[in-house]
């Protein structure tokens, strides 16, 4: 068996704008842009992961068309197309943001021959992605991933990697302390002048012959542009160095670029490099965790925020019952929650947040809750909710159980900001809120008792306000009624739940609401909260039924408990009408299950040098024109015909003009953004239907209520990594389109980390001011911890407010740059031409070295044999691996992951060897 030891191999996995960015800048044309490159790689790798999982389970897998809907369906998770699409768009958005906020920083684009610095950005960010995934902080992982993909992709457009004849990506860009290539010396000339407009031959012959690595220099400032003598320029209209000898450029960003004839070669290389990085993340995380990072899952997160003080025993029992019901009925189905989240709170404590993908772990955590203590009346409910909103996936449905007022009312605006940012729905299950409360002392007077009751009654409004802001419900019941009311949790746990119409009226008034039900909608349900609310329901066929009649033909089932009413309707396609005739305050919500839904983001004209639009990640500007990008999911043939901004508590609305952009995206432009709260209503047509009609009209509405603002808060968020024990300075800017004055500043974070910030900023009318938050994570904070910082600016008199929400990943300084090392101990076989009756086996020793972080995970990537692992006696740094298989299965591939890196161990036994 001499020479077989050689088979024990450690196999490496395979300032200027780059390829162009989307959101309607002038550079797109037919060229591939960063968004295209990113999406193609994500779709391909995700499909490959699902294929591997399917084959491992003995299932067939047909490779799908590379669209989010098709890939989600191929992964047997069609209901996750919304979260998958949202994950892709978040990664694309952060990729695009590098050009918005780091346009002038050469290492983020591999300009000016900053190869080492650019590689450090990628590898540091890659460590943060892996650490975040390890702690299941997937939103932070997506954001960081987008930021490092931009420089990785730019390398192939801005350097001469393609020109010097390379056919594969530069794998060492994602590995620290390795050779990126033979980089040109600072004094070495690399380019000659272009021959007229033809720059195809401007790289010097000796640079190409010796495969010397260089990249173009770039400067945007007209009168201060310079570059070292003889160096290449980036090129293009924005690059002022391209007019300095040697003139021209070498970028391949578009077909019209200086080296545009190599645009597709560079773009395809960037796709391959992006795929390679994603495979590295996949290997470190594992297939199922990788899919979660990409938003591929079979259900919707189940998130409970629970008051655990003394009088909550009955409530906790109800939560235990509904948890068991959901787990018992959903596990193994398409609606199985991908993650379970629990946040307990009382006073003076709240948390910790418990997040798990294991339903049995969650059930044990719920069953371990007990009601005790409490002290004074109010509890830290908003602190618990803040923690849940930052820890749960976007678009989650959160249920908060309490019978107490909120003690931390100062967090109300922060919670609303997080609701708007995450577009999550919060439902409040409030018990005995109007009765005399717990912990009454024997010496309390009757007057004190009434004061307590008034306080609790008033505080219920806070919960109602937050529910309305999120598109949720504030359900008030007695403790004995709670279990019946929790039916909404089971109904809301479907990941395909969509909102058809929603409205809040206080005071109530007679009003007619219409909503369209298309053929894809199932389980049509009406929710109403309010006391003594009456209505008339009219079906598309003209049949009507009043709320006083529970035996009519339209309502198949109804439940009424406390202030909450739920109606199951006979699903019938067409336009429905519900006439609310009550003058009492109410919230009306009509939902159903459907694969067709939408995502949306507000846009504003970019102030950056590339033009186009930027995504607004907080409140849009009020009273001025604005734009909205809408993405239809769940159907590749659906199109949007109307986008309307509808007042949440009134009848006002603003209709936009709609333009199709392709790929399921539609741009809606509005003459003005309303100053009052509103929701987004989308109407459209879907031609992919079983109906005989050529198209079917559909209607969807956002749950989250949106507030516009004359205040703008921004932060470049240049560093998203927080080193434990080291203060991080986070700059931010506040601008106003309205009156100036003394603006109050509040900065809060969900982990309670120490921070300092200015308590106010003085702004002139129509002016701006800058501030800084200094944030410090304790020195013992684990790597992968994600802290969410919310910075708010409140106008004088509290008449207006806006915010910015930032995430930071805590990452201890990485010192382990070496991959795990393998040593083949033995390889035995008696293989012959008749492989069925013979076996082979091997033993391998794996270690991460004395200075390493240790072997974190070892698994079988390929092979049909039996794998066993154990720690070496007396040395926990050594892992012993044994593997045996039939000679008919000669290949094995092991995946070895250490604390910060990844190595693939490949071993092949040629048939016939003995």
The pLDDT score that the predictor gives to residue 815 is 64
Place of tokens 């902080």: 137
Q: For the purposes of burial, counting CB atoms within 10 Å of the CB of 584, is it exposed (0-12), middle (13-18) or buried (19 or more)?
A: middle
Question: Among 424, 495, 434, which Cα is nearest to 459's?
Answer: 434
Report how far residue 146's alpha carbon sits from residue 88's, in angstroms, rounded to the nearest whole number.
9
Q: What is the pLDDT at residue 718? A: 65
Whether residue 610 is predicted with pLDDT greater than 50 in this model: the reply is yes
pTM as predicted: 0.83
Neighbours of 742 (CB within 10 A): 13
More confident residue, 334 or 644: 644
Higher-confidence position of 7 and 880: 880
Please, what is the Cα angle at 719 between 717 and 721, to 5 degrees?
A: 125
Is residue 317's pLDDT more than 80?
yes
Decide: helix, strand or coil at residue 537. strand
Q: What is the mean pLDDT of residues 117-145?
A: 92
Calpha distance 352→346 (Å, rounded): 12
Mean pLDDT computed over every residue of the chain: 85
| Measured distance CA(21)–CA(11) in Å, rounded | 34
pLDDT at position 900, please? 62
Instruction: Examine the pLDDT at 792 and tell me if it is beyond 80.
Output: yes
- One DSSP character per residue, 252-318 reads -SSTTSTTGGGHHHHHHHHHHHHHHHHHHHHHHH-HHHHHHHTT--SS--EEEEEE-SGGGHHHHHH
- The position carrying tokens 């391998």 is 844
pLDDT at 24 over 50: no
Q: Tens of pLDDT along 512-565? A: 999 999 999 999 999 999 888 889 999 999 999 988 887 778 998 888 888 898
Beta strands in 609-727 (DSSP E): 613-616, 626-633, 638-647, 653-655, 657-662, 665-670, 678-686, 696-701, 711-714, 721-722
Residue 121 has pLDDT above 60, yes or no: yes
How large is the average pLDDT for residues 276-284? 93
Query: How confident is the model at residue 376, as a pLDDT?
Result: 62
pLDDT at 253: 92
Q: Which of 31-45, 205-219, 469-483, 604-618 has the lowest mean pLDDT?
A: 604-618
- What DSSP state is assigned to residue 196? T
What is the pLDDT at residue 80? 85
Helix (H) or strand (E) holding 908: strand 902-908
855: CB partners within 8 A, 6+ apart: 820, 846, 847, 848, 879, 896, 897, 898
Q: What contacts 590, CB < 8 A, 6 or more positions away? A: 499, 500, 501, 502, 515, 524, 525, 526, 527, 576, 578
pLDDT confidence band for 507 (50 / 70 / 90):
confident
Lowest average pLDDT, out of 73-77, 830-834, 909-913, goes to 909-913
- 457-485: b (≥16 Cβ within 10 Å) or e: eebbebbbbbbbbbbbbbbbbbbebbbeb
Name the token pair of 444. 């309390």
Q: Over 70: is that where the pLDDT of 324 sits?
A: yes
pLDDT at 911 over 90: no
Q: What pLDDT does 299 receive?
A: 73
The per-residue pLDDT for 18 is 52
| CA 885/CA 364 separation, integer angstroms | 39
- Characterize 362-385 residue by residue with b for buried, 16 or more Cβ atoms within 10 angstroms of its Cβ, and e for exposed: bbebbeebebeebeebbbbbbbbb
SS3 29: coil
The answer to whether the CB of 401 falls within 8 A of the CB of 323 is no
Q: Rounded CA gap, 667 and 275, in Å?
A: 30
Per-residue pLDDT for 453 more than 80? Answer: no
User: Is pLDDT of 903 > 80?
Assistant: no
Q: 131 by DSSP, 3-state: which? A: helix
Per the model's pLDDT, the better-predicted residue between 742 and 839 turns out to be 742
- Distance, in Å, from the CA atom of 162 to the CA atom of 262, rounded to the nearest integer, reads 8
Cβ atoms 640, 658 nearer than 8 A? yes
d(CA 850, CA 423) in angstroms, rounded, equals 47
Query: Which helix (H) or strand (E) is 388 found in, with range?
Result: helix 381-391
Rounded distance between C-alpha atoms, residue 330 and residue 295, angstroms: 18
Q: 277 in the Ramachandran plot: left (φ > 0), alpha (ψ -120 to 50) or beta?
A: alpha
* 825 CB-side CA count, 13 A: 14
Average pLDDT over residues 587-601: 92
Q: Does the N-terminal peptide bond of residue 246 adopt cis geometry, omega within 30 degrees of 0?
A: yes
**Would you say the C-alpha torsion 80, 86, 89, 90 has a positive or negative sign?**
negative
**pLDDT at residue 867, as a whole number:** 85
| Mean pLDDT score, 725-734 | 94
Spatial separation of the C-alpha atoms in residues 512 and 318, rounded to whole Å: 36
The pLDDT value given to residue 707? 92
**Reported confidence tier of residue 893, pLDDT bands at 50, 70, 90:** confident
Write down the residue that tokens 């959901």 correspond to. 326
Is-contact 581 588, C-beta < 8 A? no
* pLDDT score recorded for residue 14: 23
- Report whether the peptide linkage leading into residue 348 is cis, meaning its omega lies within 30 degrees of zero: yes
Of 92-101, 349-358, 509-518, 769-778, minimum mean pLDDT range = 92-101
Structural domains in the chain, sorted by start? 11-293 (no CATH), 302-492 (3.40.50.410), 498-593 (2.60.120.380), 597-699 (2.60.40), 711-810 (2.60.40.10), 815-908 (2.60.40)
In this structure, how many other beta carbons lie within 10 angstroms of the beta carbon of residue 113?
25
pLDDT bucket at 908, cuts 50 / 70 / 90: low
pLDDT for the residue numbered 832: 77
Question: How far apart are the C-alpha atoms of 140 and 147, rounded to whole Å?
Answer: 11
DSSP annotation of 907 reads E
Is pLDDT above 80 for 322? yes
The C-alpha atoms of residue 495 and residue 741 are separated, in whole angstroms, by 45
Q: What is the pLDDT of residue 619?
A: 93
Measure the CA angle with vertex 375, ends 371 and 377; round to 5°: 95
pLDDT, residue 612, reads: 67
Most confident option among 168-177, 268-277, 399-408, 453-462: 268-277
Lowest mean pLDDT among 323-337, 386-400, 451-465: 451-465
pLDDT at 99: 82
Element (H, E) at 466: helix 446-470
Lowest mean pLDDT among 89-103, 514-528, 678-692, 892-906: 892-906
Measure Cα distances from 498 to 34, 493, 501, 592 in Å. 31, 12, 9, 6
Contact assessment for residue 69 and residue 633, using Cβ atoms and an 8 Å cutoff: yes
**SS3 for 599-626, per residue?**
EEEEEEECCCCCCCEEEECCCCECCCCE
Scored b (16 or more CB within 10 A) or e, 408-422 reads: beebbbbbbbbbbbb
Q: Please give the pLDDT value at position 687.
A: 77
CB-based burial, 162-194: b 16+ in 10 Å, e otherwise = bbbebeebbeebbbbeeebbebbeeebbbbbeb
- Stretch among 323-332, 510-519, 897-906 having the lowest mean pLDDT: 897-906
CA neighbor of 486 nearest in space, from 703, 357, 313, 320: 320
Give the residue, 802 or 79, on which the prediction is more confident. 802
pLDDT for res 608: 60
Instruction: Look at residue 909 in the predicted model and tell me its pLDDT.
Output: 47
Rg of the Cα trace of the chain?
Answer: 30
**With bands split at pLDDT 50, 70 and 90, how would you rate the model's confidence at 439?**
very low
């Amino acid at each position: 068996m001499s020479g077989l030891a050689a088979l024990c191999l450690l196999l490496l996995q395979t300032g200027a704008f780059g390829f162009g960015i989307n959101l309607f800048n002038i550079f797109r044309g037919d060229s591939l842009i960063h968004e295209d490159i990113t999406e193609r790689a994500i779709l391909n790798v995700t499909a490959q992961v699902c294929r591997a999982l399917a084959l491992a389970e003995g299932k067939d897998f047909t490779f799908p068309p590379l669209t989010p809907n098709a890939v989600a369906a191929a992964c047997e998770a069609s209901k996750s197309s919304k979260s998958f699409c949202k994950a892709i768009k978040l990664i694309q958005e952060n990729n695009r943001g590098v050009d918005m906020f780091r346009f002038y920083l050469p290492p983020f684009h591999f300009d000016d021959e900053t190869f080492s610095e650019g590689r450090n950005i990628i590898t540091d960010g890659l460590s943060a992605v892996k650490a975040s995934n390890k702690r299941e902080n997937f939103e932070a992982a997506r954001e960081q991933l987008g930021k490092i993909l931009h420089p990785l992709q730019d390398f192939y457009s801005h350097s001469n990697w393609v020109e010097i004849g390379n056919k594969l990506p530069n794998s060492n860009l994602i590995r620290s302390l390795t050779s990126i290539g033979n980089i040109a010396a600072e004094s070495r000339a690399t380019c000659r002048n272009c021959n007229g407009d033809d720059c195809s031959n401007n790289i010097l012959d000796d640079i190409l012959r010796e495969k010397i690595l260089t990249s173009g220099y770039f400067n945007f400032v007209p009168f201060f542009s310079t570059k070292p003598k003889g160096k290449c320029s980036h090129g293009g209209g924005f690059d002022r160095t391209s007019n300095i000898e040697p003139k021209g450029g070498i970028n391949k960003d578009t077909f019209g670029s200086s080296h545009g004839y190599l645009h597709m070669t560079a773009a395809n290389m960037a796709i391959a490099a992006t795929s390679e990085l994603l495979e590295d993340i996949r290997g470190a995380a594992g297939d199922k965790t990788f899919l979660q990072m990409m938003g591929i899952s079979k259900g919707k997160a189940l998130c409970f925020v629970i008051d655990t003080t003394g009088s909550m025993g009955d409530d906790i029992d109800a939560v235990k019952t509904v948890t068991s019901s959901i787990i018992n009925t959903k596990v193994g189905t398409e609606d199985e929650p991908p993650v379970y989240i629990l946040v307990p709170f009382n006073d003076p404590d709240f948390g910790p947040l418990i997040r798990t993908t294991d339903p049995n772990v969650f059930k044990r955590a719920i069953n371990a809750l007990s009601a005790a203590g409490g002290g004074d009346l109010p509890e830290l409910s908003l602190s618990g909710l803040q923690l849940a909103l930052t820890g749960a996936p976007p678009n989650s449905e959160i249920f908060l159980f309490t019978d107490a007022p909120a003690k931390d009312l100062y967090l109300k605006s922060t919670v609303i900001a997080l609701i708007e940012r995450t577009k999550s729905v919060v439902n409040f299950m409030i018990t005995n809120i109007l009765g005399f409360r717990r912990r009454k002392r024997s010496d309390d007077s009757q007057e004190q008792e009434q004061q307590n009751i008034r306080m609790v009654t008033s505080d219920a409004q806070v919960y109602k306000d937050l529910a309305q802001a999120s598109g949720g419900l504030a359900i008030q019941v007695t403790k004995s009624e709670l279990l019946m009311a929790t039916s909404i949790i089971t109904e809301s746990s479907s990941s395909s739940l969509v909102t058809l119409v929603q409205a809040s009226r206080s005071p109530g008034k007679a009003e007619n609401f219409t909503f369209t039900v298309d053929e894809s909608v199932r389980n049509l349900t009406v929710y109403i909260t309010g006391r003594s609310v009456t209505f008339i329901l009219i079906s598309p066929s003209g049949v009507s039924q009043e709320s006083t009649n529970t035996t009519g033909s339209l309502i198949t089932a109804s439940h009424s408990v406390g202030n909450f009413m739920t109606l199951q309707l006979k699903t019938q396609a067409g336009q429905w009408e519900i006439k609310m005739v009550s003058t009492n305050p109410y919230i009306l919500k009509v939902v159903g299950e459907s694969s067709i839904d939408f995502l949306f983001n507000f846009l504003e004209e970019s102030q950056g040098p590339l033009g186009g639009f930027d995504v607004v990640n907080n409140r849009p500007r009020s009273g001025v024109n604005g734009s909205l990008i809408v993405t239809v999911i769940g159907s590749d043939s659906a199109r949007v015909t109307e986008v309307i901004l509808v007042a949440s508590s009134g009848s006002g609305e603003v209709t936009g003009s709609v333009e199709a952009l392709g790929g399921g995206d539609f741009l809606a432009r509005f003459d003005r953004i309303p100053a009052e709260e509103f929701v987004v209503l989308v109407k459209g047509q879907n031609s992919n239907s079983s109906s005989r009609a050529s198209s079917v009209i559909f209607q969807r509405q956002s749950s989250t209520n949106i507030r516009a603002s004359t205040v703008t808060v921004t932060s470049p968020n240049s560093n998203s990594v927080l080193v434990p024990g080291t203060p991080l300075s986070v700059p931010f800017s506040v601008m106003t389109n309205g009156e100036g004055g003394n603006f109050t500043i509040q900065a809060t974070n969900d982990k309670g980390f120490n921070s300092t910030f200015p308590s106010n900023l003085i702004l002139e009318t129509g002016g701006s001011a800058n501030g800084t938050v200094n944030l410090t994570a304790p020195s013992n904070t684990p790597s992968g911890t994600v802290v969410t910082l919310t910075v708010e600016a409140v106008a004088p008199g509290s008449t207006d407010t806006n915010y910015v929400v930032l995430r930071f990943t805590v990452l201890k300084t990485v010192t382990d740059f070496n991959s795990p090392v393998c040593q083949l101990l033995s390889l035995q076989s008696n293989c012959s031409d008749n492989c069925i009756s013979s076996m082979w086996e091997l033993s391998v020793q794996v270690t991460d070295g004395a200075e390493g972080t240790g072997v974190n995970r070892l698994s079988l990537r390929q092979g049909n044999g039996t794998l066993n692992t154990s720690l070496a006696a007396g040395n926990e740094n050594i892992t012993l691996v044994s593997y045996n298989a039939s000679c008919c299965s000669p290949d094995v591939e092991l995946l070895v992951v250490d604390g910060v890196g990844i190595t693939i161990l490949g071993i092949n036994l040629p048939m016939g060897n003995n």
